[in-house]
Amino acid sequence: MKHPFNRRTALAAALAIGLAGGMAQAQDTRQAVAGDSVIEQIKQRGSLIVGLSTFVPWAMLDKNGELIGYEIDVAKKLAEDMGVEVEFVPTAWDGIIPALISGTFDVIISGMSVTAQRNLTVNFSEPYAFSGLRVVVSREHEGSIASLEDMNRPDFTIALRRGATPVTFAQTALPEARLLQFDEDGAAIQEVLNGNADATIASEPSPSAYAAEYPDQLYIPIDDLFSVTAESFALRKGDPDALNFFNNWIAVNWRNGFLEERHNHWFRTQDWADQLPQ
């Protein structure tokens, strides 16, 4: 006589085998994804390769030609915590995302604010910094600029760093103004100093530093910060392990005070100014 539960037992066994097979396949998939993560590549290589663009005080060259700045401190601490060396790859801003996607470096740590357009191409970590934009204007306009609207005219020229957030802001808030774009913030402010542009827009503390360095030529007519943004690491899509690691590292270093202390040093003081070439 057949046991009444034989059919049930066989079905349960088949389900168990199927479940075990599915779990094994899922585990294989997870291991394959983990193995493809840039985190594993960094560990095997023994170095973290960071893409950045130089602008004060995020990343800049000191008197000896060495990189210093907030980004540099962050990337060095990140590499130290990973137990690897760090390598920096300075890259023009308008080419930095394509260079990341092509594999030139592992991650962008370069004051990049999160935007929907960028997020279509790369993934972003949790924020490791927050900043805002400020306008610095030639003193030739002193007394005539009280609002953005006063600059929104065709005969007013604004010099900007190409591909950066200030360009998007200016195109939206100052559609009538003439925009000149350059690869570096330094070139943009030089156009104002040379009299070829009326103003520049950049993330703080650069505008305040420019006004303090050239008080006879520049001033800040509007105290407000515009487009307050969050800056995040940018990484290639399809890498959940890297995103998880970077997010956790940022969270830990917000809690332990490292990110806040370093941000305050570079953005709220000029204690580092004597390290820069004159």
Structural domains in the chain, CATH included, are 38-130+230-275 (3.40.190.10), 132-227 (3.40.190.10)
The answer to whether 45 touches 242, Cβ cutoff 8 Å, is no
The stretch 194-202 carries a mean pLDDT of 97
Question: Could you tell me the pLDDT band of residue 13, with boundaries at 50, 70 and 90?
Answer: low
Give residue 267's pLDDT.
Answer: 84
What pLDDT score does 204 carry? 84
Q: Which is higher by pLDDT, 103 or 15?
A: 103
pTM metric for this prediction: 0.67
Report pLDDT digits (tens) over 33-51. 456 899 999 999 999 999 9
pLDDT-derived band at 161, boundaries 50, 70, 90: very high
Alpha helices in 50-162 (DSSP H): 70-82, 96-101, 116-119
Contact yes or no for 137/160 (Cβ under 8 A):
no
Are 198 and 158 spatial neighbours (Cβ–Cβ below 8 Å)?
yes
Please choose, from the candidates 187, 193, 195, the residue with its C-alpha nearest in 3D space to the C-alpha of residue 160: 187
What integer is the mean pLDDT of 86-108?
97
Other beta carbons less than 10 A from residue 144's beta carbon: 10
What pLDDT is stored for residue 27 in this prediction?
42
Neighbours of 3 (CB within 10 A): 8
Task: Determine the average pLDDT of the residues in 230-255.
Answer: 97
CB atoms within 10 A of CB 119: 13
Contact 192, 200 (CB under 8 A): yes
With beta carbons less than 8 A apart as the criterion, state whether 251 and 126 touch.
Answer: yes
| Number of residues that this document lists for the chain | 278
Q: Which residues pair with 68 in a beta bridge?
A: 60
Assigned token pair, 39: 């985190």
Cβ-contact 61, 232 below 8 angstroms: no
Task: Using the predicted structure, report yes or no on whether residue 28 has a pLDDT greater than 60.
Answer: no
Give the integer Cα–Cα distance in Å for 259 and 35: 29
- Computed over every residue of the chain, the mean pLDDT equals 90
pLDDT confidence band for 1 (50 / 70 / 90): very low
